[in-house]
Copies of this chain bind each other. A is one copy, B any other.
Amino acid sequence: MRLAVIPGDGIGPEVITEALKVLGEVAPSVETTTYDLGASRWHATGELLPESVLGELRQHDAILLGAVGDPTVPSGILERGLLLRLRFELDHHVNLRPARLYPGVRGPLADTSAEIDMVVVREGTEGPYAGNGGLLRKDTEHEIATEVSVNTAFGIRRVVADAFKRAQERPRKHLTLVHKTNVLLHAGSLWSRIVEEVSLEHPDVTVAYSHVDAATIHLVTDPARFDVIVTDNLFGDIITDLAAAVTGGIGLAASGNLDITRRNPSMFEPVHGSAPDIAGQGLADPTAAVLSVSLLLDHLGQRESARRIEASVAFDLATRDQNNPGSTHAIGDRLAALVSS
């Protein structure tokens, strides 16, 4: 396996070190190449993602990314120029974000009995993230700014099909479309039509619909209702942060940016950001990065190793001192030991 590693900014490098430590235990022969991309490269050279680097990344089986973002770089530069550019260039149309409340983890909700175990399939290459839109009469009192959400039958169908396939394989076989079809009539009708069409191929998957605003209510009052959620790029961004919060925080949330055609390497990353305020202090929880490695192995067909990592994380979460889980290194060491035991 040839793995490209982009540690990135802030706590990215710290959590990636621990994730690679754990990966080394189950896949000792993995070949890694590290790419220096992010804030410091941009400051030093003005480069975000040179074509040559993009070409090299394409030669790998998968990419592991830490985090991107720094307060010294204007908002949007690294996000659009590096992170989103990778997702778009590598056609990462399925942004896969499981949210599970592990035993022993205390989330913010009072009801601790709910069994939260959902997977959000977020569309990753279109919608309001297309970057379409513009400014007119900039910096005047008559300025107009537009953002165009672009939604295609092609783009939606491949994501909806993937979500149904995942629902089909899960015990509850339940899928919820999250959108805002009562206001965004054009995009809403297209999403609804395609979910309806694909559902005909999966008669044993039950289908529900929730407006995105109502979905945020359900996520805090009855999160157990969700099994697989399929949704657009922006709604997926919002509800996966909330889903991560109710399952114990973004310190635990992993994600995969998948090209399910496998023409391009998929990219795995913790949902959390670069957290510059705690960078370099050993305070970051590497668990999300480690779980991202588990998703990576699962995607590459190494199911056994993936499960072993997830089980080790589950064991550690059930037994760790929640108020004092240990340093970044200490957690990584514990997880590595569990995985190899």
Which residues in A have some Cβ–Cβ distance to B below 8 Å?
69, 75-76, 79-80, 84, 106-112, 128-129, 131, 133-135, 137, 139-154, 157, 180-190, 193, 212-214, 216-217, 220-221, 234, 237-242, 244-246, 249-250
- B-side contacts of A79, CB under 8 Å: 182-183
A and B contact pairs by CB, cutoff 8 A, 18 listed? A69-B182, A76-B188, A80-B185, A109-B110, A110-B110, A128-B147, A128-B183, A134-B186, A141-B153, A144-B150, A147-B148, A213-B238, A214-B241, A217-B241, A220-B242, A220-B245, A220-B246, A221-B245
Using A217-B242, A242-B242 as known contacts, list a sample of 16 further A-B pairs with CB atoms less than 8 Å apart, ordered by residue number in A. Answer: A108-B109, A108-B220, A133-B149, A141-B154, A144-B153, A145-B190, A146-B149, A147-B149, A147-B184, A147-B186, A147-B187, A180-B234, A216-B216, A217-B244, A217-B245, A220-B245
A140 to B194, CA, bound (A): 10
Main secondary structure of the interface of A (DSSP, over half): mixed
- B-side contacts of A241, CB under 8 Å: 213-214, 216-217
- B-side contacts of A147, CB under 8 Å: 128, 148-149, 151, 184, 186-187
Give the distance to chain B from A192, nearest Cβ to Cβ, in Å.
Answer: 8
Most buried by B among A129, A145, A190: A145
- Known contacts A79-B183, A245-B217; A142/B149 CB under 8 A: no
B188 and A212 form a contact (CB under 8 A)? no
Most buried by B among A111, A112, A185, A237: A185
B221 and A242 form a contact (CB under 8 A)? no
- Closest residue of chain B to A232 (Cβ to Cβ) is B147
- Closest residue of chain B to A151 (Cβ to Cβ) is B145
- B-side contacts of A110, CB under 8 Å: 106-110, 112
Other-chain contact of A148, B148, B190, B237, B240 (Cβ < 8 Å): B148
- Known contacts A141-B153, A216-B242; A183/B146 CB under 8 A: no
B151 and A148 form a contact (CB under 8 A)? no
